[in-house]
Structure 1
Amino acid sequence: MMGPVMAACLLIILSTAWISQANGATCKKDGGVCTCNDQTKNVDCSSKGLTAIPINIPADTDRLDLRGNKLSSLPHTAFHGLNKLTILNLQFNKLQTLPTGVFDHLVNLNELHLGTNQLTSLPPGIFDKLTKLTRLDLDRNQLKSLPGGVFDKLSQLQKLYLQENQLQSLPHGVFDKLAELKTLDLQNNQLQRVPDGVFDSLLNLNTLDLNDNPWDCSCRDILYLSNWIREKKGTVSNIEAAECDGGTKAVLEITEEEAAEDCVYPNTTTAIPTTIITTLASSNDDDIPELPVPQENFQKFLGYQEPDHLPAQPQCLMSISGYLGLMMSLVLTSAAILYVIHFLKKA
């Protein structure tokens, strides 16, 4: 019976080595490009020129640093299995979109850094599972609007950075659920006004940056912001720097006489040109021109999603020696299994 025992031991040793090699394939010690710290559970993949997320990131990783790479897209399963993450850094990449549900498994995440990318929009509900998030960086992107309720589940959020985007408006109630928010940065956007009451729920706010926006001080809509700044002056820092478009006057100095107009701001996300409405209303069905539908929108309508793909960069995969070692392990493991079966039949 010594034969089967020895074979079983060999099988266990080989299986352990195989699993260890596969799971550590992203780390330098196993031929990968990332640096892994077993004590702190940090994985550093920053500034490696990556175009895809490395494979086999250890499941117990606490902090994952992917900043300074060339990531332009993410598969929706990019972070599945990494539910121990507390910090995820994706700054200084080329992300243009975020797939729906990409962060849904990161239920313990405290910080999410998405600054300095090329995001033009956010999917509704993209942050809904991140209920423990305390910091969210969306600065230095190309966001023109925010989905309604996009921050509603982030009740623990303390810092929100939205500066240096192209925001033209804010949804009503966009900050209503952020009772713990202390820092909000909206500077250097395209905001002309804010909805009435938009900051009223931010009872713990101590820093708000509003400068470098084209605030329209000729319309009555500015009076809420002007009155709010005067009321919070001295308790919320940086708000006094907000100036009317052209820098002629501070927003907090605007009076009701100066902001006398009832201005109407078009909804740039849903507005339909009047000429199109008139044309469609007066046309027969046969006269309505066929509008081209972009292929990507048609695919989204059908529910099409790109299949998950393996990293395109050779350095994201295991080294050749690691691959050969894995294949050898598989062969030896299979031989050991057959060896055990043979001796068990004899016994």
Structure 2
Amino acid sequence: MMGPVLAACLLIILSTAWISQANGATCKKDGGVCTCNDQTKNVDCSGKMLTAIPSNIPTDTDRLELDYNKLSSLPHTAFHGLQTLTYLSLSYNELQTLPAGVFDQLVELDRLELSQNQLKSLPPKIFDSLTKLTWLNLERNKLQSLPHGVFDKLTLLEKLYLDNNQLRSVPDKAFDKLSKLEKIFLTGNPWDCSCRDILYLSNWIREKKGTVSNIEAAECDGGTKAVLEITEEEAAEDCVYPNTTTAIPTTIITTLASSNDDDIPELPVPQENFQKFLGYQEPDHLPTQPQCLMSISGYLGLMMFFVLISAAILYVIHFLKKA
């Protein structure tokens, strides 16, 4: 009577294997693209040419490496469920923006690496949930400005990398809440020392000189003078830096206002404007090649599952007939 028992066991094993594959695989041992270490809870997905974050990252992951890929955007739910994560690296990607709330569930995060991307700005409050962060690396991006209060919740931060961006000034009181700060990198930015906005940074550097390392290296645009040496007389201008909003020239507005309706030409409106008006949004991300391969393997696994199920059923029927 061992035949039916063996067949039943085979059915259970096959069902379990197929269900596991159908749920998606992240780790190489399960057919995925990342290297996972069950002992250290590390997941290494670096250097895989990924254009989207793999699904089903284990929820108990402690360290997640996604550097050296092709990530250009992130869904706002990219790291949801990873509340135990303490290290996250997204360096050496092609990120142009960060969605608001993308880090909100990473309440245990200690170190965040975002260097070597193409970030031009940061959403307000983007780091507010990262109250345990001690290391934040934003170097070698294209940051043109920082939101007011963007670092206010990072009271445990020890190292901050802002070098090699396009920053001309920082908001008033930008670093005042960073009481644990030991090192900050500010070089490689075109600090505008002719504008009044630079005075906060200049005064802060003088105040922290000797307690926060590397701050004295910050230089005015052109390398003519150190930021800490700037006086109020030198930084006398009220400068307004251009933002990303495209303004309509006043002359055009005046012309349109004085014209008859029949004289106003019909201007073509880009299709994407209609899509935005109607509430259309692009999907967060398209599947990566590894994800597509995993989907294909899922279908093949399903076909194999049904073939083996059929074979097992025929075996049971044949055995019962002989009995």
Q: TM-score, normalised by structure 2?
A: 0.81
- Would you say 1:146 and 2:125 are equivalent positions? no
- Would you say 1:74 and 2:49 are equivalent positions? no
- 2: CA distance, partners of 1:66 / 1:144: 25
Shift of 1:84: 1.7
Residue ranges of structure 1 left out of the alignment (5+ in a row): 42-61
Shift of 1:297: 8.1
Q: Which residue of 1 aligns with 2:197?
A: 221
Shift of 1:238: 0.7
Q: Which residue of 2 aligns with 1:298?
A: 275
* Matched residue type, 1:40: Q
- 2: CA distance, partners of 1:145 / 1:311: 26
Alpha carbons 2:163, 2:185 under 8 Å: kept: yes
Alignment of 1:1-347 (within 5 A): 8-16=8-16, 18=18, 35-37=35-37, 39-40=38-39, 62-71=41-50, 73-74=51-52, 78-80=54-56, 82-266=58-242, 268-275=243-250, 277-278=253-254, 281-282=257-258, 287=264, 289-295=266-272, 298=275, 302-306=279-283, 312-313=289-290, 316-317=293-294, 327-333=303-309
Alpha carbons 1:219, 1:259 under 8 Å: kept: yes
- 1: CA distance, partners of 2:286 / 2:316: 37
Alpha carbons 2:33, 2:45 under 8 Å: kept: no
- 2: CA distance, partners of 1:160 / 1:277: 45
Could you say what the CA RMSD is over the residues aligned between the two structures, in angstroms?
Answer: 3.8
- 1: CA distance, partners of 2:270 / 2:200: 41
- 1: CA distance, partners of 2:100 / 2:27: 35
Q: What percentage of residue pairs aligned between the two structures are identical?
A: 60
| Paired residue total | 318
Q: Which of structures 1 and 2 has the larger relative contact order (alpha carbons within 8 angstroms, sep 6+)?
A: 1
* Matched residue type, 2:178: L
- 2: CA distance, partners of 1:31 / 1:130: 27
1:279–1:23 CA distance, 2 compared to 1 (3 A): same
Q: TM-score, normalised by structure 1?
A: 0.76
1:80–1:32 CA distance, 2 compared to 1 (3 A): closer
1:220–1:25 CA distance, 2 compared to 1 (3 A): closer
- 2: CA distance, partners of 1:279 / 1:83: 59
- 1: CA distance, partners of 2:260 / 2:81: 50
